[in-house]
Amino acid sequence: EVQETVVTETYPLLPYVFFDSSAAEVRPRYMSEVNRSTFKERDLDKSTMVMYYHVLDIVGSRMRALPEATITVTGTTDGRELGTPAQRKALSEARAGAVKNVLVERWGIATQRIRTASVDVPVIASNDEYVEGREENRRVEISSSNSELLAPVVHEKFLEYVPLQQRQKFALQVLRADRAKQWEIEVTRNGRVIASRQGRAPLPE
C-alpha cells in the first residue's frame, strides 16, 4: 500500500493596481503580452510578484469563464496629489477608467459588467506619513461579490510516493541458481518506479 502526498501551493491575489503620482496610465508591468485564448493562470511562474503583476490577466480570464460575474473598480488617490479635491476626483475616476479599459479591450469583457467608482483616499488607507504609504494609496481596488473572481491562485504538485509499510517481502523462485549472476527488482505504480533493489550472486532468499 502506497501513500500519495500532494502539496497545494496557494498565492493570494492582491486586487490592487498601483499608479505613479498624478498619473492615470496603467503601468507597463501590468500590461503583459499573454494570449488570452491560451492563457492559464496555473502556467504562471510560482512567484508571488508574478501573480501580482498578472492580476488583470487573472481577473480578465476568470470573468470570461464566469460570464455572470461582475466587478467594481474603485480609483483612489493619496489625498495630496494635484491641487484641489475636484482634480483628485477626476484623477481617481481616470484611474478606474484605465483599469476598466484594459479588461474591456484586452480581455473582451462587456462594459456593463464593470462598475467604476472613485474616492479621494482608500477606505482602508496606508499611513500617509511615509512615502511608501502614499504610494500604496495611489491605486485602483478591484472588488466583487463573486468570491471566485478574487480567490487565490492554486498550484498543485505531486511529491514522492511513500510506502506505508516499512518492509515488504517478496517470494523468489529460481530455475538454475548456479547460473544466475545478478538480480534486480523494481516496484512501479502507474509506470513510475517508486523503489528498486539490485545485487549480485548469491541470490537472496
Tens-place pLDDT, residues 3-28 = 888 888 899 999 999 999 999 999 99
Q: Where are the alpha helices (DSSP H) in 27-130?
A: 48-53, 55-65, 85-107
- Please name every residue paired with 155 in a beta bridge, in sequence order, or none if there are none: 9
- Report CA Rg, the chain: 28
Residues with Cβ within 8 Å of 183's Cβ and at least 6 positions away in sequence, in order, are: 198, 199, 200, 201, 203, 204
Instruction: Return the number of other C-beta atoms located less than 10 Å from residue 141's C-beta.
Output: 19
pLDDT tens digits along 152-171: 999 877 677 777 887 888 88
The C-alpha atoms of residue 33 and residue 106 are separated, in whole angstroms, by: 10
Cell 523468489, located at residue = 172
Residue 180, H or E segment: none
The CB-side HSE value for 177 (13 A sphere, CA atoms) comes to 8
Q: What confidence category does residue 92 fall into, taking pLDDT thresholds of 50, 70 and 90?
A: very high
**Selection from 137, 57, 37 nearest residue 99 by Cα:** 57
